Amino acid sequence: MAAAKRFSRPVVKAFDEAKIFGIKAGEASEHRYTGAWPVVVDGRLFARSWDVKRGGWFDTFLRDPLGRIQIGERGLRVRAVRVRSEKLLDAIEAAYATKYVTPAAQKWVRGFRTPRRRAATIEFLPR
């Protein structure tokens, strides 16, 4: 099996340093870019859905895994893959807790630990 494509180091660094990025879910959807909090674990890019609602970006990616992400003015075509590994989900939670440390962010970091939101974790791969 071939290794999964990865983003370049400069792209990963940009997402690692960013507090928010844009997600446009689904190749054929009417979705517009919506903001999400990125985290990087082992050079891989992840995000968790807060709302986990029908028709939201997570739900749309489950039906159509192709879409786009945006960092600054740069747009990238991606394939979204649902994360199921408990070990990786734990590492992603730790990354959120390490990156988003302000008192205002703590509510969101705690909220990302709920089972419903934990199950709504996506890895973004370049395409």
- Domain 9-126: homologous superfamily in CATH: Electron Transport, Fmn-binding Protein; Chain A (2.30.110.10)
As a whole number, the mean pLDDT across the chain is 93
Report the pLDDT value the prediction gives residue 1, as an integer from 0 to 100.
44
Report the pLDDT value the prediction gives residue 27, as an integer from 0 to 100.
86
Domain boundaries, given as residue ranges, for the chain: 9-126
Report the pLDDT value the prediction gives residue 64, as an integer from 0 to 100.
95
Report the pLDDT value the prediction gives residue 31, as an integer from 0 to 100.
75
Residues of the chain with pLDDT under 70: 1-4
What is the Cα–Cα distance from 7 to 10, expressed in whole angstroms? 8
Q: How far is CA 98 from CA 10, 46, 60, 105, 114, in A?
A: 21, 14, 28, 11, 17
Report the pLDDT value the prediction gives residue 29, as an integer from 0 to 100.
73
pTM for the model stands at: 0.93
